[in-house]
Structure 1
């Protein structure tokens, strides 16, 4: 790996190293982001940075969400904690800052660094399984389930697995090494990581890649069959993952029938109550930061009364900034998918799989409301989106589309 290219800026270099920090305590990632911002400010060329942001196909959708949230802040209720909640809605502005550095060879390095981080994370899960992992704070999220950070590690492994399968189909070089790495990560994710979300994102990513590269050739058929066999074996042998999925289905059935749900099925209860909050003011919403106040009032005595979010970004946006705000969010997500379709190639598939991961993750977790998730997704989104000009997709989009070689 070329550690530094004299043609790139220091901000690009630091940004290319951020993906590996996502697998460790959040303070390490934040320290890296601070270094990136310092390098960006000292690097100058502010007009070029601003031009890169304005030319991005993500600029207008993100500005629309900013306008909606500013309008909600001016016209709707502003409870205690408003400003903290308001800043969470601006997570996509972080993406604009990242892509202001433009495209370059740093994207290749960032992808390799991300894969290296995934391999390190998988290794730590194996070491923990064999009780060889040191009892250090650095590894605490691998030694025991620790909430959102443990979930994020699983999500990152799921995305890395889908991206690796994309590399296997897209490039001829190092195919066997990539297949071994994919299997290494997949086993760690499905058997050892304690998250359904990451496992499902991995499966969805693999399905998308298989559909993209499905062709009538022996090589493609063997790769497809091999992937299907791995997933089938994992379903039969990964009892923890299978039990969690079966439990989720049983909770949904019990909730619909009016029966008792498990503690893991509490999200269904939250969704139902949040829908009631949405119905009060469906168009413009109840105001930024109001869910945390209104929900406990309606959930007194229930398991979910102390929850900080509804664990669903669609419902949170609809409850606080209404259908208008939800449409602004969906515009951003649709723009990601449209850019992926337009640029095509390996880079387009990376953007498509992570776009689907965000949209699915938003159904079952506070993917954007929680900065732990949000920052991680913005770092990964910057890899395929940097350097893309909405005025000339075809001229710029595939310049670094082989960033997996």
Structure 2
């Protein structure tokens, strides 16, 4: 239930409003300026503390399906610091990165009103539009805000890498979700001109991944997100026709994109040579997985403790000089939690994902498409990367999870078929529907 302004003093109400505006700023900034997002996150937390009413805020979110798995996972991370074999610097680093689980719950308690949820989603969309425009502008001109770290070559022209922020994996993961958002708004829009605009933006987002970026994680996440969208948003027999069309488009994209074709050819070579070349993208990951599985076999239940990966992986690496390259993270979030926090850590992470999926399946359209798209992106990205450990990705996934699970964001934007939420979640996570409840299929 939203906090009533009447229960707050004027000063507390001002702090509450300031926290919410700062939160909008977080969603506007984390895709493009991570340092600013961290500063604004600190402002949100400080204003949240100053606004008080902690008990009421807790009562408002305690039944939300995100809360229990997030607290359980972070509790296991804290417990893992007590027996970790890692050094204190890595223990602090890992704990700080995963602290976004708690910050996301603070955000969840502030997103109790639909208008603030829409502001935050709109801010994220604006940031992604800026990234998308920069991608296409950088085909012809070198933009001053694209750093050498994000794109060392900064080559001009079509068919080369045009990463704008962070790294190409992070940008492509966020762009995949943005494509789902555009497709969702296309379906929800009532006017044809808006439908055409959102469909065009979705197409541009897809092309920015397939033809204007390197890496294969983005292709994998994009394909998974589009498949999920078709299965959840297209009813009846049209679903299968759309799946066939999607497969045809992706195949045509693969054949027409020199970037995609080259990356898949490289992947095949790297797979064949993974035993002799562990420094390639695929060879690196397979070598990491082999090392991680050996460590998991030694301690499958309790793990090696939070922040232990660097120390333990270096113990397994033959050449100590390679510790810097292979000791950062294992490029698999499931194995990462299992290695450091044991089987309970892996199960807690799966619990968090399952709650997101369950909430999405029960949510009304069009929010259902966004929630399941986010869940699919997280599931796919966790297979080849460590999204809750990577700085910008943990902002994206955890903060977007809090936003979408706080309650309906787009519901009512179009006349779409909807499924009711389970009764236990409706009060805290979804607005009540008008009319009689419709039995879920």
Instruction: Work out the CA distance in 1 between the residues paired with 2:386 and 2:342.
Output: 17
1:118 counterpart = 2:137: no
* Alignment counterpart, residue 228 of structure 2, candidates 190, 208, 221: 208
Deviation per CA, 1:262-284, whole angstroms, max 9, x where unpaired? 61121111110111111111111
Q: Determine the structure 2 residue equivalent to 1:108.
A: 118
Q: TM-score, normalised by structure 2?
A: 0.79
Q: Which has the higher helix share?
A: 1
Instruction: Work out the CA distance in 1 between the residues paired with 2:71 and 2:31.
Output: 30
Q: Determine the structure 2 residue equivalent to 1:39.
A: 47
Higher mean C-alpha deviation, range 263-272 or range 65-74: 65-74
1:289 counterpart = 2:307: yes
- The answer as to whether partners of 2:146 and 2:164 remain within 8 angstroms in 1 is no
Instruction: Work out the CA distance in 2 between the residues paired with 1:168 and 1:147.
Output: 26
Instruction: Work out the CA distance in 1 between the residues paired with 2:145 and 2:229.
Output: 37
Q: How many correspondences in the alignment?
A: 392
* Alignment counterpart, residue 288 of structure 2, candidates 267, 270, 290: 270
Instruction: Work out the CA distance in 1 between the residues paired with 2:146 and 2:42.
Output: 22
Give the secondary-structure state (helix, strand or coil) at the position aligned to 1:286. Answer: coil
Q: Determine the structure 1 residue equivalent to 2:343.
A: 323
Q: Determine the structure 1 residue equivalent to 2:167.
A: 149
Say if 1:386 and 1:273 are closer, same or farther in 2 by CA, change over 3 A.
Answer: same
1:226, distance to aligned residue in structure 2 (A): 6.0
- The answer as to whether partners of 1:343 and 1:397 remain within 8 angstroms in 2 is no
Instruction: Work out the CA distance in 2 between the residues paired with 1:78 and 1:223.
Output: 50
Say if 1:368 and 1:68 are closer, same or farther in 2 by CA, change over 3 A.
Answer: same
Give the secondary-structure state (helix, strand or coil) at the position aligned to 2:81. Answer: helix
1:89, distance to aligned residue in structure 2 (A): 3.4
Instruction: Work out the CA distance in 1 between the residues paired with 2:237 and 2:301.
Output: 51
Instruction: Work out the CA distance in 2 between the residues paired with 1:93 and 1:390.
Output: 25
1:393 counterpart = 2:393: no
1:193 counterpart = 2:246: no
Superposed, 1:6-25 pairs within 5 Å as 9-25=17-33
Q: Determine the structure 2 residue equivalent to 1:3.
A: none
Q: Determine the structure 1 residue equivalent to 2:99.
A: 90
User: Alpha carbon RMSD of aligned pairs, Å?
Assistant: 3.1
Q: Determine the structure 1 residue equivalent to 2:36.
A: 28
1:158 counterpart = 2:176: yes
Instruction: Work out the CA distance in 2 between the residues paired with 1:165 and 1:217.
Output: 19
1:49 counterpart = 2:57: yes
Q: TM-score, normalised by structure 1?
A: 0.85
Q: Which runs of 5+ in 1 are unaligned?
A: 1-5
Instruction: Work out the CA distance in 2 between the residues paired with 1:194 and 1:9.
Output: 41
Superposed, 1:376-387 pairs within 5 Å as 376-387=396-407
Instruction: Work out the CA distance in 2 between the residues paired with 1:275 and 1:146.
Output: 35
Deviation per CA, 1:210-255, whole angstroms, max 9, x where unpaired? 111333577x788667655543332222221232234334433444
Instruction: Work out the CA distance in 1 between the residues paired with 2:46 and 2:98.
Output: 24
Say if 1:304 and 1:51 are closer, same or farther in 2 by CA, change over 3 A.
Answer: farther
Deviation per CA, 1:63-118, whole angstroms, max 9, x where unpaired? 22233233333345453322222333333212111101123212222222222222
Say if 1:80 and 1:39 are closer, same or farther in 2 by CA, change over 3 A.
Answer: closer
Instruction: Work out the CA distance in 2 between the residues paired with 1:71 and 1:378.
Output: 21
1:186, distance to aligned residue in structure 2 (A): 1.6
Give the secondary-structure state (helix, strand or coil) at the position aligned to 1:367. Answer: coil
- The answer as to whether partners of 2:64 and 2:425 remain within 8 angstroms in 1 is no
Q: Which runs of 5+ in 2 are unaligned?
A: 1-12, 155-161, 409-420, 434-441
Q: Determine the structure 2 residue equivalent to 1:365.
A: 385
Instruction: Work out the CA distance in 2 between the residues paired with 1:172 and 1:211.
Output: 22
Superposed, 1:239-278 pairs within 5 Å as 239-255=258-274, 258=275, 260=277, 263-265=280-282, 266-278=284-296
Instruction: Work out the CA distance in 2 between the residues paired with 1:77 and 1:33.
Output: 31
